[in-house]
A and B are shown apart, each in its own frame.
Chain A
């Protein structure tokens, strides 16, 4: 097996890892602020895909403007979902689990009714390939990865530098202490849920031209997102990036040596190994 092939396999694995990191970051942000796990997170990713389909593929809006629209639309949908469904479930993990599972089915069935069951193709915004030292890189995937990295950096800056971002971090660290300092927990929860969903919507928008959109498209990314945040560490942005790269690398290389079913197991084996050796994740805090 040549070195070129190994490097190509690694590149393939890393290619879309950053997009799954976006989904994972949204999931972990919501968990940090509301202390609930949103199992319907993949459906917000799916909504982002459909916004892209309608705005970009059907109405011909500019691709990056469409991406912004997907982020905004799904973010607003997230705020609405928090206000209507999740805001009383803060800290009630079991109740939130059942409700989010219900929301998952409702959103999937709703999408089937509203958009139809068949895959909807979204034309590639960027075509062609780049060859570097015998390696093949798709321009489309390169743009998608770079866009995802920009969004991750934007999230980092938002959380570090902006007032609402700092409020979110304060609530994530200690909601009661944050409330005593005058932070509006209700508003921060809604915003946090909205930002978390917006990240999923952005990921859906990025991958819509790569994979096409369908009502069930959210299932796979959310599974990868769970693996990423468990491996990297719940609540850690660098941990999510590291988890994404590890998962991408392991899956990319694994595909060269074993069948697809075995490759899918590798991610879960990583989860088991991390939970046994370092239950808080590689970068997660105590």
Chain B
């Protein structure tokens, strides 16, 4: 048995040596390790799971296609992922591990704003290129040139979303927003409140809760006493947003509901139940099966569902696109040197699963590091996500 195995190995090596560099799977003598971070447990775990899967799908496609050709070298891509449980301290530890232990120069994927700030304390000084879906204003800026946001944030979606609410539902005058008590939560509520005030709405409540909260009755009692017409579970992750909506319904709230940063409605519906989730509008989520998304996103959704038996949310698509953009930039730069890849990244738009992807955001963040694509507003109907409108972020209009 062992002799046969040995012979087989020799034959395989001989075949590989004679096959030439263009044959898929051959000549991959180098490995490119890419890091993925995210909450893989706890209330925000669905974010991390989608980040890893999005990266995994693109990495596998590249590896199956013969590897990533950068200059004259071909690399097999290896992913290393760590769970930071949506905690900043754990995120810093994980980033240190990736950069100093695993020696990665690219971290493609992270979620939850406070953890992004923690990761950037490691990635920026080390010139590690870092792409994420965190929703914090402070995550992008001229002092963080190696950082990119791969998904539209509250600053791109809140204003067009509430403009649409005002146009289509003029009876809504008072809106209450609730978010987790951390960077992404505060930033999201700030963007929502700014959009609301700018459009002439009244802010009925601007409330926060600690991540991991299960019983929202106390804070909801306070919010509902302010008699809002609409409740926005702004930056709450799906599990917690589901509990908020379920408990708001139990406390008698029957008004319209929004989810400005909502990205995984399947989990929200499962936790809240169909009745409590009915009618939730979200400008951040997408339905990969809808006519409002491109054919490439629909195809990605089919592949994802076939592989993981679940329908992907926007985070999986965004991280798949980010992985695609970064690896294409490496090929354009003909190098893995992050300075050269950074230069390639900012030179031209990239054709991705979203279609043509533009880097913008200078007006908001002082630097063009925000991926821009059209906003699709969806509504949950009978437990399903139905896309109902498409609007453009102000930066993309320009």
Contacts and interface: CB of A to CB of B under 8 A. Distances in A.
Interface of A: 5, 8-9, 12-13, 15-16, 112, 117-119, 121, 123-124, 129, 131, 136, 138, 140-141, 207, 210-212, 214-217, 219-220, 251-252, 254-256, 259-261, 263-264
Contacts of B85: 216
Given A136-B252, A214-B42, A118 B49 contact: yes
Given A118-B45, A212-B271, A260-B181, A13 B252 contact: no
B212 interface: yes
A98 B213 CA distance: 27
Given A260-B213, A261-B181, A119 B251 contact: no
A259 B49 contact: no
Interface stretch (B17-25, B219-227, B321-329, B364-372): B219-227
A138 B250 contact: yes
Given A117-B45, A119-B242, A207-B214, 8 more contacts: A12-B217, A15-B215, A119-B270, A136-B251, A141-B250, A212-B239, A216-B212, A255-B219
Contacts of A13: 218
Q: Looking at chain B, what size class is its interface with the partner chain?
A: 20 to 34
Contacts of B252: 129, 131, 136
16 contacts: A117-B40, A119-B45, A119-B242, A119-B271, A121-B242, A121-B273, A123-B273, A124-B273, A129-B250, A136-B250, A140-B250, A212-B271, A214-B41, A255-B219, A260-B181, A264-B210
B221 A256 contact: yes
Given A214-B43, A215-B41, A263 B270 contact: no
A207 B247 CA distance: 13
B221 A12 contact: yes
A215 to B, nearest CB: 6
A8 B45 contact: no
A212 B212 CA distance: 12
Interface in B270-326: 270-271, 273
Interface of B: 40-43, 45-46, 48-49, 83, 85, 181, 208-210, 212-215, 217-219, 221-222, 225, 239, 242-243, 250-252, 267, 270-271, 273
A260 B273 contact: no
A219 B87 CA distance: 15
A118 B46 contact: yes
Given A8-B221, A117-B40, A136-B252, A214 B239 contact: yes
A217 B42 CA distance: 8
Contacts of A12: 215, 217-218, 221
B226 to A, nearest CB: 11
B41 A117 contact: yes
A216 B250 contact: no
A220 B267 CA distance: 21
A121 B214 contact: no
Nearest to A16: B215
Contacts of A216: 41-42, 85, 212
Contacts of B217: 12, 15, 252
Nearest to A219: B212
A261 B219 contact: no
A64 to B, nearest CB: 21
B270 A259 contact: no
Given A129-B250, A260-B210, A119 B267 contact: yes
A121 B218 contact: no
Given A255-B218, A259-B208, A5 B40 contact: no
Contact of B41 (A112, A121, A211): A112
B243 A117 contact: no
Contacts of A210: 214
Contacts of B273: 121, 123-124
Contacts of B212: 216, 219-220
Nearest to B225: A5
Contacts of B45: 117-119, 214
A255 B221 contact: yes
Contacts of A119: 43, 45, 239, 242, 267, 270-271
A212 B243 contact: yes
A259 B180 CA distance: 11
Contacts of B271: 119, 121, 212
A35 to B, nearest CB: 31
